[in-house]
Structure 1
């Protein structure tokens, strides 16, 4: 049965946590110093959670932490360095974590950037958006299990409709690089992670869901600002505010309405219906394919082990 909630695309993160008490719960938000990450962290802090901002730029992280404390009255805001495209940074972050972890919001990302490779030769969007978050979640598995009822939130995008994971050339070593296809592949991987993690981790008390936050004007679009084609589309797009864009993430992270729900893809605070082309909403069948999800898990483990 498809899950729906009383919330809508106009709902804000603050609406989601109204009356929710997260006291005693610990949360990590990657990319928590910009865009919807800030508002996701703010809502969790407002509900009483101890929030860690996992960020590349710790100076910006500390400025954000001060703002969050000032606006929520919650002083339990921590800042830790994390570079998702650097597996050593990911491993260190996970190994340094002490105690249980109740909420992990895999929010950070890059979008449709020019071709960039990591030192391993991995395509940077796949490395950042999927492999970094995959390695982080796997590295924090024991902490999540220790919590007893942990939630992992995987921020995907409707761009997953553009491409499944192309397993025979994930890193564009033979095919021509196309920024949006690479982004779409990485966003499909975010959903497939939720599918396979649900199968593997359900018995550990860990639920994992993915979501499309909606279109929000943030630094995520920095590679396309001023591009005539992008701006023509953007002019008529139904943009959300960052507070609205964070709502579905916070719903999956904190709402009692989602207790026990796992392995699904949400948009506008409801579980998405199947995509029917040429519509640009809903969830593609390739993103929920259990065989692809299982294969991606094994491929990801192999890549990170090299």
Structure 2
């Protein structure tokens, strides 16, 4: 897989022949990932499993970064059996614990071609904070992945053409990052609002990582996988999306693997994708289940500010 190149600025370069119904295997048909290494967080359930499986089926060495190592090992064994690829490993990674993140990144050896920041939690019904005092959704969905991405920078640079995928959500349209109260010490906590804010943050991570690192051959993009019935919705009472807007897990992983590995997007960074194409910028929240990306999620000043803020939160 070759992805080194100048970060694309033409919208046409980020459109593809795939769409809403495309599956991960269809997106990677004919793509040979032999000789590459991928890390997928949260890959013991849901879309993460299918993302890892599709990359392994295309020939990549894949590591599953998971909290539950036993579940991860079972998943890895299933992926190896179904794909014939024995190079599927497991590492313990708790994104709510920055010590765990640092240990995982510090133990990584060799290049890393694809980092898929897939793990996430959604709509915790009550306000909780990590031992470091961070609001839990922000800590897991954004800050843990920020620390992981930063900790793996050298491995990404050694790949000489790495891609980072930040799994976001169309829920980001409900809230920008509120820099003055990241941990809900003054605001009333709202489960979906906190989730939305964390998903805006992961888009901004992709924007700023691309700005800082594209000269080293590292680009990052954010994706909305779509509405997929997984354990992620356990706090929301299940999937409320109209049937015609729902996706299978195989369809839900398609945009992630497209951005992670397709030659069609070589050198493209700092973008937000859904349904296997770059999203349009919308200037007001669309009706329920509408698409698009909010301008505050792509704003370079917001992205730089969040990066610098995150550095202080990790200290």
Q: Normalization by structure 1: what TM-score?
A: 0.96
Unaligned runs of 5+ in 1: none
Q: Which of residues 70, 90, 93 is equivalent to 2:81?
A: 70
Whole-Å separation in 2 of the counterparts to 1:301 and 1:165: 16
Deviation at 1:98?
Answer: 0.5
Question: Helix, strand or coil for the counterpart of 1:222?
Answer: helix
Deviations 1:166-203 (A, max 9, x none): 00001100010001110010000010011111110011
Aligned to 2:57: 46
Residue 108 (structure 2) pairs with residue 101 (structure 1) = no
Determine the structure 1 residue equivalent to 2:41: 30
- Aligned match of 2:143 in 106, 109, 131? 131
1:251 is aligned to: 258
Deviation at 1:277, TM superposition (A): 3.0
Mapped to 1, the partners of 2:241 and 2:207 lie a distance apart of 31
Equivalent pair of 1:156/1:190 in contact (CA under 8 Å): yes
CA distance in 1 between counterparts of 2:28 and 2:293 reads 26
Provide the C-alpha distance between the structure 1 equivalents of 2:293 and 2:196, rounded to a whole number of angstroms.
12
Give me the CA root mean square deviation. 1.1
Structural mapping, 1:136-175, within 5 Å: 136-175=148-187
Cα displacement (A) at 1:275: 1.8
The answer (yes or no) to whether the contact 2:173–2:285 under 8 Å persists in 1 is no
| Counterparts of residues 188-199 of structure 1 (less than 5 Å) | 188-199=200-211
Pairing partner for 1:267 from 246, 268, 274? 274
* Structure 1 segments (4+ residues) deviating >4 Å: none
Matches within 5 A, 1:5-16: 5-16=16-27
| Cα deviation digits, residues 258-293 of structure 1 (max 9, x gap) | 000000000000000112534231000000111110
Match for residue 294 of structure 1? 304
Name the residue aligned to 1:223: 235
Check conservation: 1:25, 1:50, Cα contact below 8 A: yes
Structure 2: segments with no counterpart, 5+ residues: 1-9
Give, in whole Å, the separation in 2 of the partners of 1:140 and 1:188.
22
In 1: Cα distance, 2:285 partner to 2:28 partner: 34
Q: Report if aligned partners of 1:276, 1:282 keep a CA contact under 8 Å in 2.
A: no
Q: TM-score, normalised by structure 2?
A: 0.93
- The answer for the alignment partner of 1:57 in structure 2 is 68
Instruction: Give 1:7 deviation, angstroms.
Output: 0.4
1:221 CA drift (Å):
0.3
For 1:237 and 1:268, the matched residues in 2 are separated by 14
Secondary structure of the equivalent of 2:219? strand
